[in-house]
Amino acid sequence: MNRPQPNEYPAWALTYIEKVNEDVFELLARQADEFPDFISTLTAKADYAYAPGKWTLKEMAGHIIDTERILVYRLTCFARLEQTALPGFEEDDYVANAHFAERSLDSFAEEFRLLRKANLYLFKSLNEHDLKRSGTASERQISVHALLYVVAGHVTHHTQIINERYL
């Protein structure tokens, strides 16, 4: 599948779309195991934040899961021809209100693994017509096709941040 074209997504999505340098479905499937395995190795730093005001690794893991849910909800809505504009979300507020510190990194790893594996069934069910569909979220148009790339690229983006700033 070719990379989404610029007319398929808002400017903010490019950060994530650019992170996908292989078949998006293969990357999405591989991340289902690789990301949970990776964060499970970081339990000694679970409550570490690289600077004041930055998220801990637990908060980062929780953010990744929350964002996956939101992006896949959007993808589902648009694939099913939802016409209602969907709201944005304030990621810092979500993290601040989620009680992530009370959980273990292993619990996040297992949750991500199960969530992504369930989402893979949806992703694989999408046909060409579904992928071309789009809708409005956060007051911007985005296609189902682009959202697949954003989902995969979001995990890659945060994995890179963890490697660069937390380890």
Residue 90's CB is within 10 A of a number of other CB atoms, namely 8
- Provide the residue ranges of all domains of the chain, joining segments of one domain with +: 6-166
State the pTM of this model.
Answer: 0.97
- pLDDT in single tens digits along all 167 residues of the chain: 899 999 999 999 999 999 999 999 999 999 999 999 999 999 999 999 999 999 999 999 999 999 999 999 999 999 999 999 999 999 999 999 999 999 999 999 999 999 999 999 999 999 999 999 999 999 999 999 999 999 999 999 999 999 999 99
Q: Which CATH superfamily is domain 6-166 in?
A: dinb family like domain (1.20.120.450)
Distant-in-sequence, close-in-space partners of 37: CB < 8 Å, separation ≥ 6: 109
- Separation between Cα atoms, residue 72 and residue 58, nearest integer Å: 21
